[in-house]
Every structure is written in C-alpha cells, then in structure tokens.
Amino acid sequence: MPESQVPIDWLADEHPQEECGVVGIYAPSEDVARMAYFGLYALQHRGQEAAGIAVADGHGIRMHKDIGLVSQVFSPERIATLKGDFAIGHVRYSTTGSSSLRNAQPFLIDTQYGPIAVAHNGNLVNASELRAGMLRSGVGFSSSSDSEVLTMMLAGATGTTWFERIQNTMRLWRGAYSLVILTGDQLYAVRDPWGIRPLTVGMLPTGGHAVASESGALRSLGCQAIREVKPGEVIMLTNTALSVGQALPPAERTALCTFEHIYFSRPDSFWDGQSVHQVRQRLGMHLAEEAPVGADVVVPVPDSSIPAAIGYATRSGVPYNDGFIKNRYIGRTFIEPTDSLRKMGVMLKYNVVVENVLNRRVVLIDDSIVRGNTTGPLVKMLRDAGASEVHVRITCPPIRHPCFMGVDMGTYDELVAHHHTVEEIRQISGADSLAFLSLEGMMKAIGRSDGYCNACYTGVYPFEVNAHTAKTGFEQAVGGQE
C-alpha cells in the first residue's frame, strides 16, 4: 500500500492514542505466522496504523509488514510464505516517527552476529542523544523511529551471547521498552527495569511458549501458566527450553503505567496481577463515593468506560443503561469523509439510545479528558436526545502533563486541563456538573500506594525528562528526514 494511503485520523478522539502491541511465538511444527497473526488481532486495539510479522526458520528471517490493520496487511497467501518455528509481530501507533511504511515494525537487519528483527512497545526518553552519538560514529538510519535506534544499538553491541549483548545495551536505554527480539534460531522478550509497559509470557497448549503485550492475547492463543515478564528481565526461547535471566535489577521504584488500567488494556487482561475489568469497576465505585449526584441513569462512553459505569451504578444505586452505541469501525479509515460528514464529528462514531436518556438526569462516565475535543459533543448529543441534565464523571484525575514513555497524550499546549480549571472545562463541555476521580481514589481502586507512573497527572516522571530527551526532542532531531 503506498504511503499516500496511510489511515486518516480525521475523527478527533478524546482518548490518548493507543501505543503499540507486540507478540512472540515459539511453537515447533506449528504455523507460527498464523499464531502471531491471531495474537496481533487480539492486540489490534493497541495500534491501527501498521502491522508486521517476522519468522525465523533456524537459519534466516523472513518478514512482511505494511500500513493498515492486521486483517488488511496479511492474507492467507501472505502468511503461508512465512515458515519457521519462531515468530514476532507488531501493531503500531506512531508515538515517535511519522505514520509511514519505513517506521512500521518489526525492524529487520543483518549484523555481524547474524540477522535480528526487533519489535518495540514504548518510548526511549534519551533516544535523541543515543541517535546523535551513533550518527557521529557513522551509523546510518532509514527511519524516524526510536525503535530503529534500539535495533541498531543491539546490532553493534558487545558480548559473546545475545543475552549479554541485550544486557549491555539495556544499560544505555532510559525509558519504556517492552521488546521481542528474533534471531535466526532464538527469541527474546525484554522488559525495562521500571516495568512501564506490559509484557506477559505463557505456555502454549501444543508445546512451546508465547509472549505478548497483554495476557488477553495469550489466552486467545490458549496459553496456560501465564505470568508477567518482570522489570529488567529477559526471557529466552530456544529450540531446547525457556530460560530466564535478570539482565538489570528492577528500578528502586517501578513505574507501571496507570493508564493500562484506566484505558489501554483489554478488560479481559491482567495488569500488575490484577483483573483490568475489576479495577475499572472499582474506579467507578470510588468515583460514586467521591462525586455523587442525583440522577436517573448511569451511561458509559463505550467501550473502556463500561466497567466503571457498572461500578458507579452499583455503588450509587442509580440504574445503569446504554446511552451510546459505538461504531467500532469508524475510528481509522482509508476513505476521507466529505466536508459535511466531517462536521458531524463524533456523531459518526456514536449514536444515542434516545429511549434510555429522554427526560432523564444522566451521569456520563468516561475514562479521561485529554484534549477536550469529545466531551462537549457527547454532552450535546445527550441534550439533543432529550436528557434533562448531564453530569460528567471521569475515572482518573485531570491530565495536565504529557507522557514521554510511549503514550500520545498530546503536548502541554494541547492538554485542556493544563490550561483550564475543572469549572472552566465544565463550562466548555456544557455539562451540568463535572468531577474527576482524585489521585488517592484512583490508587485505592488500583490497590497500590506506589510503584506506578502518574506523571501525566502530577508531572513527576520516573526519570529526568527535558526538551532534549523527550518525544518532541527526538522528533525535532530527525525532523529533516520526514
């Protein structure tokens, strides 16, 4: 598919954009490419811009990747050409680098140690410095992605084994990285010492193992004995066994991403050993305790807010019902709408169930307000459908700071809560009332007092972040290549 046909994100979305998803398979005598395809299909919500699969047969690596959804990139005929015992896959949302084929993953290169392919979920905050140093050493780059920086650093790493090379290179990386790395006859799963992004491993029912960004994808493959890859850990899959090495000690304070619970992860996944669905229900319960309001019905903004709305309704005693029906296929499209359809905005993405809100006081539950583009139109849709009152409740604190660890929250200029008070946001949205869950209430719902990154709420990052190490700094450094 030519670059001019990249998906057009014409419908402004309130939520932070999905990051990326990775999968790795070792299954001798199985169709590993097909298994990787279904693993990526289960992770499609984490990235819809590009997809790729690389397969190793014990000697070399074959790969196919392209712009588009998993089902668009891979046909049965294409999958049939990818033969081997090992596979890695990737679905991408561009957190650094433009949405183009050259930034699609996995990255595959030949090295002095043989071929390697790398798929990455996360973002290095020191990528611009690392890239500049490699350019001075004569290393060239073909993309504008920090994931290629990781790949090229691995290619030039020192060590007698790939584990040693990975370990030596990890010491230089600062930021979020959950990786799957493929060689001609081995597969490695790597997680940063802060544990920022998720990564899980499980045993396949037919023998072998699989790794994926979420446990839900592993269960889709029938995996058993699923556990999370520990911070700083490297899991090695070879044709003999699974082995585990602690490449770096876990950070003194881990920094798991709170937003995995709030929005990113599928509700059937586990994150930090907890059911995401149950955590979201508890978020709604705590929100009902902190911000009660007289109402007739509780409705969610589908889909990630559904468990929270159930929790809010359970704790408040206000009945739950559907208020919106979501068109799940409209978020990214290869066909740009007409001007008149574009002006309809969220009306193309959501339809109101009029009978459930007519003449009723509505509590509208959503997981976040980021840029402030969607809340107002949703409130207006409810009013136009006959709701007598609309009270908005958000299951996390106001997002006032960008994320530099792999989530496209937006810049300071784009974050509505960075420039406006809660009351001002309420006025902008047209809601009768607006309340956010407190930081304390959110962490109570998660069941943790520390160990999480809440920088998008507090501005306190797990490591130093500045203009030269942040996402925008990296993009400016490579901007001439776009």
- Asked whether the beta carbons of 437 and 290 are under 8 A apart, the reply is yes
**Annotated binding residue 456:** yes
* Contact status, residue 166 vs residue 234, Cβ threshold 8 Å: yes
Q: Is there a binding annotation on residue 403?
A: yes
Q: How far apart are the first and last CA of the chain?
A: 18
Could you give the CA distance from residue 406 to residue 257 in angstroms, rounded to a whole number? 10
* Residue 367 annotated as part of some ligand binding site: yes
| Selected catalytic residue, list 6, 11, 20, 54 | 20
Tell me if 223 is assigned to a ligand binding site.
no
Ligand-binding site membership of 304 (annotated): yes
Query: Side-chain half-sphere of 32: how many Cα atoms within 13 Å?
Result: 30
Crossing angle of helices 276-290 and 439-446, in 10° steps, is 140
**CB within 8 Å of 189: residues ≥ 6 apart:** 24, 178, 179, 180, 181, 199, 201, 211, 229, 234, 235, 237
- Determine the 3-state secondary structure of 28 from DSSP: coil
The response to whether 366 counts as a known ligand-binding position is yes
The partner residues of 376 in beta bridges, in order of sequence, read none
Number of other CB atoms surrounding residue 250 within 10 Å: 16
Q: Is 257 annotated as a binding residue?
A: yes
- Nearby residues of 96 by Cβ (< 8 Å), 6 or more positions away: 123, 127, 144, 145, 146, 471, 474, 475
Element (H, E) at 289: helix 276-290
**Within a 13 Å sphere around the CA of 235, how many CA atoms are in the beta-carbon half?**
25
Cβ neighbors of 63 (< 8 A, separation 6 or more) are 52, 53, 54, 55, 82, 106, 108, 117
Q: 260: which 2 tokens? A: 């995995």
Please report, for residues 51, 161, 460, the alpha-carbon distance to residue 106 in angstroms, rounded to integers and kept in the order given: 8, 21, 32
User: Is residue 396 flagged as an active site residue?
Assistant: no
Supply the DSSP string of 335-389, one letter for each residue: SPPPHHHHHHGGGGTEEE-HHHHTT-EEEEEES--SSSSSHHHHHHHHHHTT-SE
Spatial strand order of the sheet with 114-124 comes to 107-111, 114-124, 175-182, 187-191, 233-237, 242-246
* Residues placed in the known binding site for [4Fe-4S] cluster: 257, 403, 453, 456
Give the catalytic positions in this structure: 20
Name the binding residues for Mg(2+): 304, 366-367
Residues belonging to the binding site are 257, 304, 366-367, 403, 453, 456
